[in-house]
Amino acid sequence: MDVSVRFLDDLRDAVGPQHVLTDADVVAGYTSDWTGRFVGSTPGVVRPSNVVEVAAIIEACRRADVALVPQGGNTGLVGGSVPLAGELVLSTERMTAITDVDADSGQLTAGAGATLAAVQTAATEAGWRYGVDLAARDSATVGGMIATNAGGLRVIRHGSTRRQVLGVEAVTGSGRVIRRLDGLVKDNTGYDLAGLLCGSEGTLGIVCRARLALVAPPIGVVTALLGFADIESAVRAGGLLRRSVAGLEAVEMVLAPGAFLVSEVTGSSPVLDPIPPVQLLVEAVGPPDPTDSLSAVIDEVDGVLAVAVATDARRSQALWHVRDAHTEAIARVGIPLKFDVTLPSRRLAGFCREVVDAVAEVTSRSQTWLFGHLADGNVHVNVTGWTTAEAERIERAVLARVAEAGGSISAEHGIGTAKRAWLTTNRGTPDVEVMAAIKRALDPDGICNPGVLLPLD
Ligand SMILES: Cc1cc2nc3c(=O)[nH]c(=O)nc-3n(C[C@H](O)[C@H](O)[C@H](O)COP(=O)(O)OP(=O)(O)OC[C@H]3O[C@@H](n4cnc5c(N)ncnc54)[C@H](O)[C@@H]3O)c2cc1C
């Protein structure tokens, strides 16, 4: 997209010349996504430090009719944070302050560019804990996590990002500043605008700050890795654990091919050796200390082939490794096609088998890697070894099976550019029409991430 000298001058006036990057080598770092699958180009990267500067950027974009793509940690996996049609990039990397930490109410205010790890540290220092965790914690930002309504490893206990957000400060695409950062736990005064921005993927406006609720810190953490012969046994075990273990926070699933890959790529020895066909990573927290209750339930679980238990942080990390390292290990094999789907739990095992066969029917050269958040019915389907000509057929094979099984095409990564063609199939026309009406109301000029989420007209 060509932009005028006048437009770039307006941006420089808004944020200071040193924060408008136009050098080709420098901006190149902002034009491709984490997977390497989505690569775009941009006339510039603008780096505001606060809401006033963001509002000025929005005004400049509206005047000049220039679209922008908000970018946080750029760990999104659906091509939503990169300028695929030559948009301006608005990076939140300078908006990292964490302020107003309130140890009494268990709340803090975080800038959109603060990383999840920084929020977690601030929460711990205040004697609390942040309820969301995911493997991209060192890069993923508050703004990106709100925009994608990120889920992660503890959704069964604390919910997704939406549940942690008490209010936001944001600039809509129409240039209006909305602000509700007082942290009111009860506030029934009309539409929940913060909730609306959760999962909006940068299409309605820019999140600048958020008031986040914290959760009580765990006292006593027990982690267990359980081996099973098949997914059916693992799903049954997941159900028993959920109804029997108070303080259950995570039930994550990995399969043998991914576990072998993690060992090979990271050079680590598997905790369960020989590697079983299916492993569940289970974590429960106290108070009260969950070790005995989790052990008692594990004794009742049918079909357990092997168990490892950890009650200290170092050993627990060793158990988590096989799950945490999956995304990065798969990325080392090749650029993955990524699908992040939820299924009703009774369809999960069948889907996992069928989807591997369905992809193999499109191309026998590909490999399908499955892992995910079993307790949420959420499977990450990653396919490597595809060609551009095969990508669309693989996408159809996977997503059609999800639709048939009554699932969702995006459990937590969002729609981005990667899945927008499938949104209407999954949500239905009335839902998508209402979403489009909301988009028109908040972003009448269509400048905020126009290539993302909503299907092409
Ligand atoms: C190793 C790895 C593990 C992951 N695990 C999980 C997981 O368990 N659960 C999960 O949900 N996700 C996971 N993800 C995906 C990713 O981390 C999340 O989607 C995260 O929320 C993205 O945050 P980000 O700051 O990197 O956002 P970006 O990638 O920069 O942006 C994501 C989207 O948000 C928009 N956006 C960014 N900032 C703002 C803002 N301030 N205002 C408005 N819009 C904005 C962008 O335009 C884009 O559409 C994982 C990714 C990796 C690489």
Phi/psi for 404 (5° steps) reads: -60, -35
**Exposed, middle or buried, 127 (CB in 10 Å: 0-12/13-18/19+)?**
exposed
- pLDDT for the residue numbered 384: 96
Please check whether residues 55 and 74 belong to one and the same domain.
Answer: yes
Model pLDDT for residues 129-158, shown as the tens digit of each residue? 999 999 899 999 999 999 999 999 899 999
Q: How far is the CA of 119 from the centre of ligand 1 (A)?
A: 15
Per-residue pLDDT for 167 more than 90?
yes
Q: Which residue's alpha carbon is at the smallest distance from atom 11 of ligand 1?
A: 150
Q: Does 87 share its domain with 33? A: yes
Residue 426 falls within a domain, yes or no? no
What does the alpha-carbon distance between residue 197 and residue 168 come to, in Å, rounded to a whole number?
A: 9
Instruction: Examine residue 427 and state whether it is found in any structural domain, yes or no.
Output: no
Q: Is 75 in the pocket of ligand 1 (CB under 6 A)?
A: yes
Residue 313: Cβ within 10 Å count: 10
What ligand 1 atom has the least distance to the C-alpha of 92?
A: 41
User: How far is it, in rounded angstroms, from Cα 373 to Cα 148?
Assistant: 17
- Whether 378 is in the pocket of ligand 1, judged by its Cβ within 6 Å, is no
Ligand 1 in reach of 151 Cβ (< 6 A): yes
355 and 278 assigned to the same domain? no
Among 215-224, 352-361, 419-428, which is the least confidently predicted range? 419-428
C-alpha count within 13 angstroms, C-beta hemisphere, residue 297: 23
For residue 111 and ligand 1, the question of a CB distance below 6 A is answered with no
Q: What is the mean pLDDT of residues 342-354?
A: 93
Q: Which pLDDT tens digit goes with each residue over 417-440?
A: 989 999 998 889 999 999 999 999
Closest CA to 82 of 112, 116, 45: 45
CA-proximal residue: ligand 1, atom 44 (nearest): 202
User: Which tens digit of pLDDT belongs to each residue from 369-396?
Assistant: 999 999 999 999 999 999 999 999 999 9
The pLDDT-based confidence of 408 (bands split at 50, 70, 90) is very high
Tell me which of 144, 178, 213 is where a domain ends: 213
Both 113 and 159 in a single domain? yes
CA–CA dist 368, 400 (Å, integer): 16
Of 197, 213, 229, at which residue does a domain stop?
213
The answer on 135 and 81 residing in a single domain is: no
1 pLDDT higher than 80: no
Answer yes or no: do 42 and 144 share one domain: no
103 pLDDT above the threshold of 70:
yes
The residue whose CA has the least distance to atom 50 of ligand 1 is 136
Residues 21 and 62 in one domain: yes
What is the per-residue pLDDT for 229? 97
Domain-embedded: residue 304: yes
State the pLDDT at residue 250. Answer: 95
The answer as to whether 57 is a domain residue is yes
| Amino acid at site 357 | D
What's residue 403's pLDDT?
A: 86
Q: What's the pLDDT tens digit per position in 265-319?
A: 999 999 999 999 999 999 999 988 999 999 999 999 999 999 999 999 999 999 9
Residue 320 pLDDT exceeds 80: yes
Query: Ligand 1 centre and the CA of 254: distance in Å?
Result: 22
pLDDT in tens, 4-62: 999 999 999 999 999 999 999 999 999 999 989 999 999 999 999 999 999 999 999 99
Q: What is the mean pLDDT of residues 105-131?
A: 98
**Which CATH number belongs to the domain containing residue 401 in this structure?**
3.30.70.2740
- Ligand 1 centroid from CA 145, angstroms: 5
Same domain, 192 and 240: no
**Residue 185, token pair as written in the block:** 């736990």
Give me the chain's average pLDDT, please: 95
Residues 149 and 87 in one domain: no
The CB of 118 under 6 Å from ligand 1? The reply is no
Ligand 1 centre and the CA of 148: distance in Å? 6
**Is 161 close to ligand 1, i.e. is its CB under 6 Å away?**
no
CATH at residue 158: 3.30.465.10
Same domain membership, residue 107 and residue 80: no
Q: Is the peptide bond before 287 cis (omega within 30 degrees of 0)?
A: yes
Q: Whose alpha carbon is nearest atom 36 of ligand 1? A: 144
Count of structural domains, the chain: 4
Say what the pTM is.
Answer: 0.94
Same domain, 119 and 201: yes
Q: Are residues 225 and 174 in the same domain?
A: no
At 456, is the pLDDT very low, low, confident or very high (cuts 50, 70, 90)? confident
Q: Which domain holds residue 302?
A: 221-326
Residues in the chain: 457
CATH number at residue 248: 3.30.70.2190
Residue 25: CATH number of its domain: 3.30.43.10
* The pLDDT of residue 457: 67
Nearest atom of ligand 1 to the alpha carbon of 141: 25
In a domain, 285, yes or no: yes
Tokens 């999956």: give the residue: 326
Distance 147 CA to ligand 1 centre (A): 7
Tell me the mean pLDDT in the region 76-80.
Answer: 94
Last residue of a domain, one of 213, 244, 266: 213
Helices 348-362 and 231-244: crossing angle in degrees, nearest 10, is: 150
